Chains A and B, each alone.
Chain A
Amino acid sequence: MNAHVAPRPGKPFDVDAIRRDFTILHQDINGKPLVYLDNAASSQRPRAVIDAISRYYERDHANVHRGVHTLSQRATDAYEGARDVVRRFINARDTKEIVYVRGTTEAVNLVAQCFVRPNVGPGDEILITALEHHANIVPWQMVCEQTGARLRVIPITQAGEVEFAAFEKLISPRTKMLALAHISNALGTIVPVEKFIAVARRHGVPVLLDGAQAVPHSQVDVQALGCDFYCFSGHKMLGPTGIGILYGRQALLDAMPPWQGGGDMILTVSFEKSTYNQLPWKFEAGTPNISGAIGLAAAINYLTEIGMDRIAEYEHELLVDATQKLSALPGLRIIGTAPQKAAVVSFVLDGIHPHDIGTILDTEGVAIRTGHHCAMPVMDFFKVPATARASMAFYNTFDEIDRLVAALERTRSVLG
């Protein structure tokens, strides 16, 4: 992905102008200007997203799919219009393939329970990789406990790349599902998913991609990828919390039982039998997160206006700069050194626990994540209890990377 981005004609990437759209970035934390480098955990929102949500609640709110009155129609139009914005953004064929969920976690659980669970049993295998987020491990473990299927894990290398040769050996007629991250949240590795999907296709194995870290930072085209399911979260891509997307191929979604029962997911209900609604509403029981969907569409429009390829290009420059400057610090070791990476730098400092780094950086106004990043098996693999992780977004600057470096030098002087 984005290995060869052609520079777009037009205005240069104006990060100062972009930063003006993000009110939250302009504040002092512990007396120092905030440097927000925890974007892989959650991004910030531009005013356009916050305004879209406010506007909806101030002018258009009512329940969707229910009323004949004007507000209900406006809410429905906005909610369904947002679905089409999502569809276009990831190039799905049809809005029937775009299911609103709470986030990536719910999307993976939905596929695990509604697609995989009814179709596997003892002797079957589910394949994941060793760099997955807990959200792409635990739902599969639960299915395995429920069905007697077995979870197999494709190993990673010391650089943090998924071992493709091992994958080719692990996949077999027993494999009923392949679930893998598009980009690792803990290491930043961009997984060459196209190669994995091609092999899975040959074996007739369905593929789910956890795109939580990929969608905010690069152009994703689900048809070009050829995956069966693609999952991502709104809050990591400038959108609200509590909204996410499950993309699924229509034929598969059609054949799946509903996820939850309730209003909106039915056509008719009697005490003898209920009939389920069409896609995608079959999977959307209850009053949905209407404002979340509208906020997500506003976020996508904002990203699209800047251009995902320009975002990817600029973030790559930030990654190169951060990698170079952090590597130069004595005693600093970067965890995750794959040649193809998103703008995530996980690292450890000799003799200083990441938790102490996080606290000291916070007193310098620098927000990073420290801990296991919901990827405990990754920490075990690299034999570290935790890492510190700086994750960049397109509104970060090169000056902010210098602030990170200075704060790490201060950490060394406090605890060294």
Chain B
Amino acid sequence: MDLKDLYRDVIVDHNRNPRNFGRLEPSDVHADGHNPLCGDRLTMYVKLDGERIGDVRFEGAGCAISVASASMLTEAVKGKTLSEVHALFEDMHALLTQQDANVDTTKLGKLAALSGVREFPARVKCASLCWHTLNAALDTRAGAAPAPVSTE
């Protein structure tokens, strides 16, 4: 277990300087995510542009892994279609949870830096919280009230 596999430079950087941080006004959908085990809390805001993510921001507080993961998520999904986002979610889920994940990491860009998380089972939920929260936000776009997300 090497610490540098988990806290790669890009992760430390995104934790120190999270991108797209803060409330998005106005937004089309949003959802709250909470990881009760460690106290991570974040809110994802999305502005839709048809079937694409027009803009996305997040706010909240959490550990370095959850903040960096959310920050990198916002960069990765902005401008993507909803089906592309869904595919990315599936890839990230596999990357974070499966030792032999069959994921083309070149497609993931910076997000691939999170692959070290799977060596630290207690931290997987930190990295996946923002993805579950984004999904929850997108699931509300029919107009239903957003349900809080918990990784527990």
A363 CB within 8 Å of chain B? yes
Bound CA–CA A353/B126 (angstroms): 12
**In the assembled complex, which residues on chain B have CB atoms less than 8 Å from the CB atom of A30?**
1
**In the assembled complex, which residues on chain A have CB atoms less than 8 Å from the CB atom of B15?**
415
**In the assembled complex, which residues on chain B have CB atoms less than 8 Å from the CB atom of A360?**
3, 7
Contact between chains at A370 and B38 (CB < 8 Å):
yes
A414 CB within 8 Å of chain B? yes
Contact between chains at A371 and B38 (CB < 8 Å):
yes
Point out the residue from A385, A414, A415 that lies within 8 Å of B61, measured CB to CB.
Answer: A385
**In the assembled complex, which residues on chain B have CB atoms less than 8 Å from the CB atom of A372?**
36, 39
Contact between chains at A385 and B40 (CB < 8 Å):
yes
Point out the residue from A370, A385, A386, A415 that lies within 8 Å of B7, measured CB to CB.
Answer: A415
Q: A355-B38, A385-B40, A385-B61 are in contact. List 10 more A-B contacts (CB 8 A).
A: A353-B61, A355-B63, A355-B126, A359-B123, A363-B3, A385-B39, A385-B41, A385-B62, A414-B12, A415-B7
B37 CB within 8 Å of chain A? yes
Bound CA–CA A355/B40 (angstroms): 9
**In the assembled complex, which residues on chain B have CB atoms less than 8 Å from the CB atom of A353?**
38, 40, 61-64, 67
Contact between chains at A371 and B37 (CB < 8 Å):
yes
Assess A359 versus B36: contact at CB under 8 Å? Given A385-B62, A414-B3, A414-B7. no
Contact between chains at A359 and B120 (CB < 8 Å):
yes
The list of the 6 closest CB pairs from A to B, nearest first, reads A385-B39, A353-B63, A355-B63, A386-B39, A355-B38, A356-B64
**In the assembled complex, which residues on chain B have CB atoms less than 8 Å from the CB atom of A355?**
38-40, 62-63, 65, 123, 126
**In the assembled complex, which residues on chain A have CB atoms less than 8 Å from the CB atom of B6?**
359
Q: Mark B44-67, 1 if CB is under 8 A from A, else 0.
A: 000000000000000001111101
Bound CA–CA A27/B39 (angstroms): 31
Closest-CB distance, B132 to chain A (whole angstroms): 17
Contact between chains at A356 and B61 (CB < 8 Å):
no
With both beta carbons as reference points, the residue of chain B lying nearest to A353 in the complex is identified as: B63
Contact between chains at B63 and A356 (CB < 8 Å):
yes
Closest-CB distance, B10 to chain A (whole angstroms): 13
Q: Mark A327-370, 1 if CB is under 8 A from B, else 0.
A: 00000000000000000000000001111100110010000001
A279 CB within 8 Å of chain B? no
Within 147-179 of A, Cβ neighbours of B (below 8 Å) are at none
* 11 A–B contacts, CB within 8 A, in A order: A353-B64, A354-B39, A355-B40, A355-B63, A355-B126, A356-B64, A359-B120, A363-B1, A372-B36, A384-B39, A386-B38
Contact between chains at B12 and A415 (CB < 8 Å):
yes
Q: How large is the interface on A (under 10, 10 to 19, 20 to 34, 35 or more residues)?
A: 10 to 19
Assess A356 versus B65: contact at CB under 8 Å? Given A30-B1, A414-B3, A415-B15. yes
A220 CB within 8 Å of chain B? no
B122 CB within 8 Å of chain A? yes
Bound CA–CA A110/B125 (angstroms): 34
A379 CB within 8 Å of chain B? yes
Q: How many residues in B have their beta carbons less than 8 Å from beta carbons of A?
A: 22
Bound CA–CA A325/B61 (angstroms): 28
With both beta carbons as reference points, the residue of chain A lying nearest to B11 in the complex is identified as: A415
**In the assembled complex, which residues on chain B have CB atoms less than 8 Å from the CB atom of A385?**
38-41, 61-62
**In the assembled complex, which residues on chain A have CB atoms less than 8 Å from the CB atom of B39?**
354-355, 371-372, 379, 384-386
Bound CA–CA A372/B34 (angstroms): 13
Within 240-263 of A, Cβ neighbours of B (below 8 Å) are at none
Bound CA–CA A414/B11 (angstroms): 11
**In the assembled complex, which residues on chain B have CB atoms less than 8 Å from the CB atom of A359?**
3, 6, 120, 122-123
Within 102-146 of B, Cβ neighbours of A (below 8 Å) are at 120, 122-123, 126
Within 173-209 of A, Cβ neighbours of B (below 8 Å) are at none
Q: Mark A369-391, 1 if CB is under 8 A from B, else 0.
A: 01110000001000011100000
Closest-CB distance, B121 to chain A (whole angstroms): 11
**In the assembled complex, which residues on chain A have CB atoms less than 8 Å from the CB atom of B63?**
353-356
With both beta carbons as reference points, the residue of chain B lying nearest to A31 in the complex is identified as: B1
Bound CA–CA A145/B61 (angstroms): 33
Bound CA–CA A356/B65 (angstroms): 8
**In the assembled complex, which residues on chain B have CB atoms less than 8 Å from the CB atom of A371?**
37-39
With both beta carbons as reference points, the residue of chain A lying nearest to B39 in the complex is identified as: A385
Q: Mark B63-76, 1 if CB is under 8 A from A, else 0.
A: 11101000000000
With both beta carbons as reference points, the residue of chain A lying nearest to B123 in the complex is identified as: A359
Closest-CB distance, A137 to chain B (whole angstroms): 15
